[in-house]
A and B are shown apart, each in its own frame.
Chain A
Amino acid sequence: MSGAPSVSAWRGPIRLVGKRIGLALITLLLVSAVVFTISGLLPGDAAQEVLGQGATPEQVAALRHEMGLDRPAAVRYFEWLAAIAAGDPGNSIVANKPVADIISERLPNTLTLAGLTTVFAVPFAFLVGIWSAVTRGRATDRSLNIMTLAMVALPEFLVATIAVMVFSVKLLWLPSITIVPQDPTLGEFLRAYALPVMVLGVGVIAQLSRMIRAAIIAELDRPYVEMARLKGVSQARLIVRHVLPNAVGPIANAMALSLSYLFGGAIIVETIFSYPGLASLMVNAVTSRDMPLLQACAMIFCAAYLLLVLIADTVAILANPRLRQG
């Protein structure tokens, strides 16, 4: 609608995006404080969890001192904050090795699973969402609608379990747990990930495609669409050139939400497929009261989410001429 933007037209968006980044960092700081506070409420501590069922109070006290858990919370918080700002998340008090090492083992796993699921699910969701929107109310829309509904109708753990029972136990096609061999061939790699990606993808597709459909339909009801139609603009061109750019704000937002689910929300899939990702690492950190590890994981989830939202916001700003000027 507007012509090629001049340099000055970009100044606004850049300033806006810069501001978003700043705000994201503030949020990150808030999260660290929230996580630290909540984790302080957890009953028991690492010393007790390490020593287990039969520990004497003296043993616990000795280990607690050795782990530095007997110092004030505020001191520990600011020490940690300073360290993490310098890029060092500290040592895991349970595993007795750098948190960075532990996370670097797991982060690639989470990224791989999230990446594969995105590659599988997002195009699918767009296809279903757009198709459904343009055939609104007709048989295609209804069957697609029922399909996406069925996809989220059952709890994830049940879908995963049924998938395992069918594809692994009965048919013996796919592995029931996700263990990627060292130096896998492409086939082995895809086979290992097939089931978890499918289970995670189902949820993402269902949620995202419905949001895309809703956003596009909202646009289709606008007067300009009717006008364009009257001018004889073809359906495909209408969707790609006019509707999508205008609907991009809500769609980008929905995508940010759906994709951030692939980090922390993968906990059930990680549990069922015994997949060593970050979500189970964080649950593990909660159960073993390994605060440095817990906080580091929380920061990663938070950062990932904020990054996705930042991208969504940026896209929305760039796409919406009014926001761009604001």
Chain B
Amino acid sequence: MANLIRRATRLPLPGKIGLALVLFWIVIAVIGPWIAPYPPGSFVNEEVFAGSSRAYWLGSDFLGRDVLSRLVSGARFTVGLSAIAVTIAASIGTGLALTAAVGPRWLDELLSRAMDTLISIPSKIFALVLVAAFGSSMALLTLIIAITYIPGNFRIARSLAVGLAKLDYVEVARARGEGRLHLAVVEILPNILKPLFADIGLRFVFIVLLLSGLSFLGLGLQPPDADLGSLVRENTSGLAEGALAIIAPAAAIASLTVGVNLLIDAATQGKAE
């Protein structure tokens, strides 16, 4: 813990900003339900797209619901769902990639074929078909998104790992008679972590954005639940009048995605500087 704090204080300024943003959204996601002034689904304001006021800090949305309350609840869905999905995708993707890199040739081929099959189907259309077939629940949505991002992570990780596996030092280790697990976890994984983290950061961002893209196509969470992207989508009619109902969730998405990236950039480069 102390080590982590020391590391955090050594981050360059953008990294600190990123960390602050990420922590902020994690906190909001966790305590959201307790700080929301109103239930996110209730119609509290007669006026739609109302501006900021003392009772409604961020005004009201297209149905007269409290934007602040919906925002904190949306942040919870977006952060939670994306984090779970990216974790699943990266663990499975990188795990398979390492297996492919150190495993027998046929396994590599098999995995690569399976991943190519998956990835070659465009993600949004893949999601569209699956949602049309199985309906849209939160678990399914997370799963679809995770599956969508496994192959991408796999390809990057495999490309990095295979490159390393052919390098002399790995071959030396191989010649030493190290097991495959050792090769994967000790020799290769630490050396591909940095570019992988950059990839995972971007992938988290893309998951947040894919989620909102799916909301645009009507495939997002079931109402009254709404992720940040759905909040933007459902309030687009307020865009022309510059309603807070659309600006607030858009700003939330932007600060979340930028924050994650700043943090990961700083963390992966920290030592080099």
Interface residues of chain A, those whose CB is within 8 Å of chain B, are: 23-24, 26-27, 30-31, 34-35, 38-39, 41-43, 136-137, 142, 145-146, 149-150, 152-158, 161-162, 165, 169, 207, 210-211, 214-215, 217-218, 221, 249-250, 253-254, 257, 260-261, 263-265, 267-268, 271, 279, 282-283, 286-287, 298, 301-302, 305-306, 309, 316, 320, 322-323, 326
A156 and B236 CA atoms in complex are apart in Å by 13
Contacts of B240 in A (CB 8 A): 165, 169
Interface residues of chain B, those whose CB is within 8 Å of chain A, are: 12, 14, 109, 112-114, 116-117, 119-125, 128-130, 132-134, 152, 155-156, 159-160, 162-163, 166-167, 194-195, 198-199, 202, 205-206, 209, 212-213, 216-217, 229, 232-233, 236, 239-240, 250, 253-254, 257-258, 261-262, 265, 269, 272-273
Q: Is the beta-carbon distance between B232 and A155 smaller than 8 angstroms?
A: yes
Q: Is the beta-carbon distance between A38 and B155 smaller than 8 angstroms?
A: no
26 residue pairs from A and B, CB less than 8 Å apart: A26-B113, A30-B114, A31-B117, A38-B133, A39-B129, A41-B134, A137-B12, A150-B258, A152-B257, A153-B205, A155-B213, A155-B229, A155-B232, A210-B202, A215-B195, A218-B194, A253-B155, A257-B155, A260-B120, A265-B124, A279-B125, A286-B125, A298-B121, A302-B121, A305-B120, A323-B162
Chain B interface mostly:
helix
A157 and B199 CA atoms in complex are apart in Å by 23
Q: A27-B116, A286-B125 are in contact. Are A322 and B272 (CB under 8 A)?
A: no
- Total contacts A-B at CB 8 Å: 166
A320 and B162 CA atoms in complex are apart in Å by 11
Contacts of A155 in B (CB 8 A): 209, 212-213, 216, 229, 232, 250, 253
Q: A27-B113, A137-B269, A309-B116 are in contact. Are A38 and B232 (CB under 8 A)?
A: no
Looking at the assembled complex, report how far the CB atom of B171 sits from the nearest CB atom of chain A, in whole angstroms: 10
Contacts of B116 in A (CB 8 A): 24, 27, 305-306, 309
Contact of A30 among B113, B213, B232 (CB under 8 A): B113
A157 and B216 CA atoms in complex are apart in Å by 7
Q: A156-B209, A268-B216 are in contact. Are A27 and B117 (CB under 8 A)?
A: yes
Contact of B159 among A169, A253, A263, A267 (CB under 8 A): A253
Q: Is the beta-carbon distance between A35 and B121 smaller than 8 angstroms?
A: yes
Q: Is the beta-carbon distance between B122 and A265 smaller than 8 angstroms?
A: yes
A-B pairs, 6 with minimum CB distance: A264-B122, A155-B212, A153-B254, A305-B120, A41-B133, A302-B120
Q: Is the beta-carbon distance between A149 and B125 smaller than 8 angstroms?
A: no
A153 and B205 CA atoms in complex are apart in Å by 8
A145 and B202 CA atoms in complex are apart in Å by 12
Q: Is the beta-carbon distance between B198 and A43 smaller than 8 angstroms?
A: no
Q: A39-B129, A257-B152 are in contact. Are A137 and B272 (CB under 8 A)?
A: yes
Q: Is the beta-carbon distance between B272 and A136 smaller than 8 angstroms?
A: yes
A268 and B195 CA atoms in complex are apart in Å by 29
